[in-house]
Structure 1
């Protein structure tokens, strides 16, 4: 499923589904019907009558319903509002759970696919810098905020990804296991960051340090 339209734009959606089923040998018609209803897509409409968002939805429906063992989804939420993006990701997860296979999802909205991810690989300048389970990656991702002197002292010898100064507030981003024996000063706040922010800090060329 890509931005490129591989279907005849003058064909009705039901015709495309019928032809795809013939070409692929089988097709999950029950899932397709359920998704068409959920997204208010009329199968009697022609492909060229759909907006960018609805074309994206329809192409994703086809990709989820064919018997392929490898499903490539290129920006599957292109042109969709927040509600439809959430619904589409739920159907991707449902399709995987009902018949496990390999999904490759290309997206710029990392936080929205975090619930679909089990293992994280991070590439930066063609170098593999992270290869770990999601739970482990998030457990090592921290933001330390407070006075600069205390922040720098606490983060000594730890893997600092980035640091920022806003007025009197100094913030350090870490990717490391925090030493249990190191006392956290009362004036410092330490919390975890999400997968998207972790990815940004790990691949930020302006970072203070890198993994």
Structure 2
């Protein structure tokens, strides 16, 4: 069920009927589809070794019983806020060509790098779609959309378009090409469509963007 409808966060006890919290956490954190989901483990075990085991399996937070409801609420809110900030960071890095700090390398950035590399490889291919991207990643389109939505806030078709437009902005800023040539470089052969989506993204036309000083 979790594969079909990934939650925003998972809260689990160490001792559960079918699968213990530690094993569940390991399963989530080793899944390319689910590893972005924060996991909170609750346990009545209070030894340092138990805490260490919880953190080793990839848990984002470990709460010892007994605990105050407000403690759980604060930790959950902090984790969700942190994920929201990371989502914005991922978008800035991909679309503004920022560099990742080495300490920020993780499964999420690795997944986005892989997705973005595939899009760049197929940049000039007008037949490249979300379906083809999903097949490259051995995912269904639905699974890909959920993963990208969780990490960037965009479904796959929108993410592909944003990567293309980001590439277009780089070309306009650094190379002397016509608008038609720039659109073709991005695999978009309908110039009116290219101009329309570019303006929707940036607020100005490609021609106006090209004339901006200090690009």
After TM superposition, the score normalised by the length of structure 1 is 0.32
Larger Rg: 1
Q: Give the structure-2-normalised TM-score.
A: 0.31
Q: Considering fraction of residues, name the structure with more strand.
A: 1
